[in-house]
Amino acid sequence: MKGWKQDILAILILAVVIHFIALWAIPRLVEGMVEKGMLAKERCKLNAICCRDINVAGIDEIPMANPDSLFSHLVYDVSKEPLRIHLTVPDTGMYWSFSLYARNLDNYYVLNDRRLKSEYGSREMEIVLVGPKSHYKKTLANEVMVVSPSNRGTGLIRMIIADRYSAEGIEEIRELKKAQELSYTE
């Protein structure tokens, strides 16, 4: 009887431990897969902004992706040095945003075109992304320092297309992809 109770106790303790480890691990595992998928794209590498093709059925890896948004992505690692990100908002009048996600997929930073224009009075800006233990000091007056809660993470630039299904929309996507090369990292 005593052995049977010990077995049940061991099962329960193990179950609780597994429960919380899995709960902690799920976002990190998913983030790892997202990173891997992003870096697997042609001409995409660590610490560089990479423009994707617009999503279509069969290649929409992210569940419930927005079909009307053109994405550029970034996988960063700021453990060794800060990452300087130069952002340029296209002049389409549609929603644009730059968002950053920590290793646990928390969206810790987002900047959209309207906020950029109202707060910084510009369509362009410099972000210096630093790690949680960085001692980086601002060097340029117009740069914005963002502290990542984790050394690794991901970033997304979203650009809404007014009508991706029209000829004008297809042309706009082509132009935006070209213009997106103006956003870069150093």
Partner 1 sequence: MKRVFKYIGKGLLIIIVGFALGLGSLVASIYIQERGPWGKVRNGPWETSLHTGSTEAGPYTRAKVALFGTLALDPSEVGYYITFNDSKGQPLDCRCNYRMEGKDLSARWWSVTVYKDFHFIPNDQKRYSYSKTNVSRDKDGRWIVKLSLKPQEGNWIPLGDGEGKLILALRLYNPDPSVIEGLDSIDLPDIIREGCR
| Interface map 28-47 toward partner 1 (x if CB under 8 A) | --xx--x-------------
Window contacting partner 1 (CB under 8 A); options: 61-69, 74-82, 83-91, 125-133 = 61-69
CA dist 74 and 66 (Å) reads 18
Window contacting partner 1 (CB under 8 A); options: 66-74, 77-85, 133-141, 171-179 = 66-74
The reply to whether 105 sits near partner 1 by the rule CB under 8 A is yes
| Interface map 113-142 toward partner 1 (x if CB under 8 A) | -x----------------------------
Q: Which two tokens stand for residue 87?
A: 């952002």
Q: Give 126-166 as a DSSP string.
A: EEEEE-TT------STTEEEEE-SSSEEEEEEEEE-S-TTS
In angstroms, give the least distance from the CB of 8 to partner 1: 9
Question: Which residues, including other chains, have CB under 8 Å from residue 119's CB and lie 6 or more apart?
Answer: none
In angstroms, give the least distance from the CB of 110 to partner 1: 5
Q: Which of 52, 85, 87, 97 binds partner 1 (CB under 8 A)?
A: 97
In angstroms, give the least distance from the CB of 157 to partner 1: 12
Strand partners, 74: 155
CA dist 122 and 98 (Å) reads 15
* DSSP β-ladder status, 124-130 and 143-147: parallel
CA dist 23 and 16 (Å) reads 11
Query: Which residues in this chain contact partner 1 in the complex, by CB under 8 A?
Result: 7, 10-19, 21-24, 26-27, 30-31, 34, 55-58, 60, 62-68, 94-95, 97, 99, 101, 104-108, 110, 112, 114, 154, 156, 160, 162-163, 165-166
